[in-house]
A and B are shown apart, each in its own frame.
Chain A
Amino acid sequence: MRKFFPVEELARDSRFNQVTMKDRMADPRSALVKDEPRQKSNRLVPSRPDASAAARGLMHGIFVGEIQALEGAGRTCHDFRTAGDSARRAQDDAHGEDSFADAVPFALKLDMARQAWDEARHVEISVKLSDWMGSEIGEFAENTVLFQAACSTDPILRLAGVNRALEGLAIDVFTTMKEFGDLAGDPYLEFCEDWMLADEVTHVKMGSDWLRRVTEHDPDRRKKALEFQSVVDKLFSYGGTRSDSQESPIGLARRFRELAGFTDDEVEDIAEVSLAALEERKASVARMQATAREFAAS
């Protein structure tokens, strides 16, 4: 088995369709896209006219995201040497490496294995929830950007990009879905989202703790990891889908982020980036509408 696994080769059965981030955002059924005349609130709540389809689409997005989170955590167990394990490794030999530079602490790998189990349960939960909500596997496309963040060759960058940025987003998504279940009078959905939320807070905290610990005496590596995290955060703020504004379908779960080891400054940074992305999207929609009007008038 190779040391690093390319995102294009993620193994899926025939029901799945993989697409890019841009394609997925352009899917009109997505909870994250609402270009019609803007309402006061775009938050994913049951009163939204498209709530049912949007919630199903979001749940499918959660389902494929959980598969990739499982795959990413599993790869981190495999791809890097364990500190102290001096036995020959075929994957290092094949990679032309005999360096131990990327070795990670044994306890970090144990956390990643634990995360793999948690994500496997999340796949189980989201398959059953999707079924409960009336959708099928493959009904929506799969965007593989989460696994891409898990392809970094530096384990600490993986933790920053996946555990802090993407799992941080999962905290926001699950909080919104839990509230959705509560408002919709769906205790089944609310119950499951609450359990997954507890696990995600744990995963983000793992990322926060290991980032701090491993880079304690390596400020450059920490800086690089935090930069990577903010790139991923920005990528997922695309279109302002997640922000404090009611115009975003998904809110920012400040309290749970705090529990997971985000500092107040970090939460503020994400809030700012998300709002900026929302404004950027609104401006771009306005520009497109103006162009369309001009074209119609000419």
Chain B
Amino acid sequence: MPCTGVRPHLGGIVADPYKPRAPFAPWDRRELPGLFDVEESARRIGNYKWAEMKLFEALGGWVATVPELDVKMRLGTHCYKHAWHAELWHKRLPELREMNPERLTQPANDAMVRFIEAMTEPEAPEQTIEKLVGVYRVFIPHFIAAYTFHKNNTSQITDAPTIRSLQFILQDEFDDWRDGEMLIQSLIETPEEVDRAAAHQTRLEKLMIEAGGIAGPGSIGGAGAGGAS
């Protein structure tokens, strides 16, 4: 019988399961090379975990300090999301040969510590705008940038578990950024409040520039993007 790719089978015709197929389907264009080796990936993830921890701690602490009921509830909800992100990174570290996840759970540099100090400085009930601006106009956009860079530059095959976590986390970050930005827009009612928001954002952005991003210089490429390709 000539090979037709189909075999007669118990009165029916079925596709031949033994026919050779390409290991990667034509629509699967994932590539092996990536910008980060195991060590660099772990280093970045340690920085992410530390920064997510600082974010959920700050959001949790601020709940009691904001009088606006809708903001209070959103901060409580977002607090958990960032704790969950920290947990995902905590669990990823041992898979990257870091058996003591605390060792790499650290700020990218001292400027990042100073950024967190400045971001968490506002406490008074009249400073909800400053609290939200620090998180939703500075910190979270930098998370989105660093995570997007990581997702688009790591090996799509060898580092698939990190990419999966990044996709879940990025979805949260976008959702929370939108929530936070809308809260800020609803709170800012006067030109003076626009200035207040902008001044605080400028102050924090300058510190973030010094830090170089969530994972330090090279967070979104350029100098220090590092690792093997």
Residues of chain A having any CB pair with chain B under 8 Å:
1-2, 5, 9-13, 67, 70-71, 73-79, 82-88, 90-91, 106, 109-110, 112-114, 116-117, 119-121, 123-124, 127, 137, 147
Contact = CB atoms under 8 A, between A and B. Distances in A.
Question: In the complex, which range does the number of interface residues on chain B fall in?
Answer: 35 or more
The secondary-structure label for the interface of chain B is helix
Contacts of B66: 11
Contacts of B77: 116-117, 120-121
A82 B60 CA distance: 14
Given A73-B76, A109-B53, 8 more contacts: A1-B62, A1-B123, A70-B73, A74-B60, A106-B53, A109-B57, A110-B86, A117-B76
Interface of B: 50, 53, 56-69, 72-77, 79-84, 86-87, 90, 101-102, 105-107, 113, 116-117, 120-123, 125
Interface SS of A by simple majority: helix
Contact of B79 (A1, A77, A82): A77
A116 B86 contact: no
Q: Which 4 A-B pairs have the closest CB atoms?
A: A78-B61, A84-B102, A77-B60, A113-B83
A41 B82 CA distance: 47
A204 to B, nearest CB: 18
Contacts of A77: 56-57, 59-61, 79, 83
A10 to B, nearest CB: 6
A88 B116 CA distance: 10
B60 A85 contact: no
B123 A13 contact: no
Given A11-B64, A116-B60, A70 B76 contact: yes
A155 to B, nearest CB: 13
A75 B79 contact: no
Residue of A5, A11, A78, A88 with highest tally of chain B CB at under 10 A: A11
Contact of A78 (B58, B68, B87, B105): B58
Contacts of B69: 13, 67, 123, 127, 137
Contact of B61 (A70, A79, A120, A121): A79
Contact of B60 (A11, A112, A124): A112
B79 A85 contact: no
A108 B125 CA distance: 28
A10 B64 contact: yes
Given A84-B105, A87-B50, A67 B60 contact: no
A12 B67 contact: yes
A5 to B, nearest CB: 5
B125 A78 contact: no
A11 B125 contact: yes
A120 B58 CA distance: 16
Contacts of A117: 76-77, 79-81
Nearest to A81: B57
